[in-house]
């Protein structure tokens, strides 16, 4: 069931959808997540099919950050928020969040040039592994056997996917595994910092997006200047305007819409509902990637994907085991009571017959 939310106004992309019932709100936000991120993934893979594109992945990421910053500022303007550049969270937090976001998105985009896209998506599904490691090392958290079993199954699936790619992909590069692993670790940190920023400082979604992505844009631009890649990237994009600027605009728009829809679900329906939707979206992304783009296929991809799904289900059970156990216990007692009542009715019918 969806978690109960507050009765305050519910804003999705500057639109108040409070008049819709909760089911309609959930279905609308889910449709936006699925549609936007399926297009997002398709555009990303199609863009990196352009010969030479992987050399300029960071220039592509810089443009994405610039557009996200513009969208965030535009949302604040449309929402009539006073003080467009005022912020509730300290700027030091946004500088840290920007660095982590740059690493997450930049390395993720970069890995598409080296990895089979479904393998990249599977890696993203397994970010719970670095979350567990970080929780133990940084916060001293303790985890149960089910948590470790869930992460172990995910690790096995990653190994199987990587070995399968190395065998059937002619352009497989282990460098892509290193890159996406770095993105995975940064992504795990982004989630923790974002949650803390939203909860402790009551920052809005548009504020978080505006400052983290605008600062991230500055980081990437200076990095490209220092590495002398800014001018070559500009020239390459000028030579292929449709495949770069055109597709990049659609990529950024769909990404921004999807990000807002996910944040809306987290706030009003809970993390569990949002994670369920995004997991389903990733499964669809993998299926469509094999359908729309010609690539080698083997059933080992399916078995590896099922192992990932099993690990995610174990993680879900670990987080909600008390609720699940209580519900199954209540259901079992209800079934036993119905069975006893049915037997009692049969006995009474036998007595009446006699």
- What 3-state class would DSSP assign to 16? strand
User: What is the pLDDT averaged over residues 285-312?
Assistant: 67
Of 39-48, 53-62, 236-245, 266-275, where does mean pLDDT reach its minimum? 266-275
Of 83-87, 294-298, 306-310, 343-347, where does mean pLDDT reach its minimum? 294-298
The pTM score is 0.68
221 exposure class (CB count in 10 Å sphere: 0-12, 13-18, 19+):
middle
Alpha helices in 201-270 (DSSP H): 205-226, 230-239, 241, 247-269
Of 50-59, 200-209, 230-239, 299-308, where does mean pLDDT reach its minimum? 299-308
Residue 268 CA: distances (Å) to CA of 26, 32, 45, 277:
9, 15, 32, 14
pLDDT at position 197 is: 74
Highest mean pLDDT among 60-69, 109-118, 190-199: 60-69
Residue 12 phi/psi, 5-degree rounding, is -125, 110
User: What tokens does 11 get?
Assistant: 């804003």
From the CB of residue 185, how many other CB atoms can be counted at a distance below 10 Å? 19
Confidence grade of residue 11 (pLDDT, cut at 50, 70, 90): confident
Highest mean pLDDT among 209-218, 306-315, 341-350: 209-218
CB 54 within 8 A of CB 107: no
**Distance from C-alpha of 46 to C-alpha of 40, rounded to nearest angstrom:** 10
User: What is the pLDDT averaged over residues 199-208?
Assistant: 76
Closest by CA to 135, choosing from 126, 123, 146, 143, is: 143
Pairing of strands 11-12, 15-16: antiparallel
pLDDT at position 203 is: 75
**Distance from C-alpha of 101 to C-alpha of 72, rounded to nearest angstrom:** 15
Between residues 255 and 76, the one the model is more confident about: 255
pLDDT tens digits for range 212-258: 999 999 999 999 999 999 999 999 999 999 989 999 999 999 999 98
Is a pLDDT exceeding 60 seen at residue 166? no
pLDDT at position 186 is: 84
Q: What percent of the chain has pLDDT over 90?
A: 18
Highest mean pLDDT among 11-15, 35-39, 83-87: 35-39
Is a pLDDT exceeding 80 seen at residue 97? yes
pLDDT tens digits for range 171-193: 556 777 788 888 878 877 776 67
Size (the chain), residues: 354
Residue 88 CA: distances (Å) to CA of 92, 136, 208:
12, 30, 10
Is a pLDDT exceeding 80 seen at residue 198? no
DSSP 53-73: GGGGHHHHHHHHHHHHHHHHH
Is a pLDDT exceeding 80 seen at residue 209? yes
pLDDT tens digits for range 131-148: 666 666 655 666 677 767
CB 32 within 8 A of CB 170: no
Give the DSSP H or E segment for 11. strand 11-12
Between residues 346 and 42, the one the model is more confident about: 42
Residue 12's DSSP bridge partners are 15
- What 3-state class would DSSP assign to 98? helix
């Amino acid at each position: 069931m969806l978690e109960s939310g507050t009765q305050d106004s519910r804003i999705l992309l500057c639109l108040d959808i409070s008049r819709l019932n909760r089911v309609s709100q959930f279905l609308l936000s889910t449709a936006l997540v699925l549609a936007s991120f399926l297009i997002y993934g398709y555009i990303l893979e199609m863009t990196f099919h352009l010969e030479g594109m992987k050399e300029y992945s960071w220039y592509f990421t810089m443009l994405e950050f610039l557009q996200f910053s513009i969208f965030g500022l535009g949302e604040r303007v449309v929402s009539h928020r006073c003080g467009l550049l005022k912020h509730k969270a300290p700027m030091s937090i946004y500088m840290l969040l920007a660095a982590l976001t740059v690493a997450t998105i930049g390395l993720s985009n970069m890995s598409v040039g080296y990895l089979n896209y479904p393998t990249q998506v599977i890696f993203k599904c397994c970010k719970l592994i670095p979350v567990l490691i970080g929780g133990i090392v940084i916060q001293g958290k303790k985890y149960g056997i089910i948590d470790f079993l869930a992460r172990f199954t995910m690790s096995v699936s990653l190994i199987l996917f990587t070995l399968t790619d190395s065998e059937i992909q002619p352009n497989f590069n282990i460098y892509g595994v290193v890159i996406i692993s770095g993105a995975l670790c940064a992504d795990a940190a982004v989630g923790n910092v974002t949650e803390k920023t939203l909860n402790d400082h009551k920052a809005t979604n548009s504020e978080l997006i505006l400052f983290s992505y605008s600062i991230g844009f500055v980081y990437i631009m200076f990095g490209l200047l220092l590495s002398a890649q800014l001018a070559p990237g500009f020239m390459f994009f000028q030579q292929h305007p449709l495949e770069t600027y055109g597709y990049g605009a659609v990529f950024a728009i769909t990404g921004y819409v999807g990000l807002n829809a996910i944040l809306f679900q987290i706030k009003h329906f809970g993390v569990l509902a949002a994670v369920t939707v995004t997991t389903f979206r990733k499964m669809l992304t993998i299926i469509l990637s094999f359908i729309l783009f010609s690539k080698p296929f083997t059933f080992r991809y399916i078995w590896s994907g099922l192992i990932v799904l099993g690990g995610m289900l174990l993680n879900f059970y670990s987080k909600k085991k008390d609720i699940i156990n209580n519900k199954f216990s209540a259901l079992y007692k209800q079934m036993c009571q119905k069975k006893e009542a049915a037997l009692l009715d049969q006995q009474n019918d036998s007595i009446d017959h006699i």
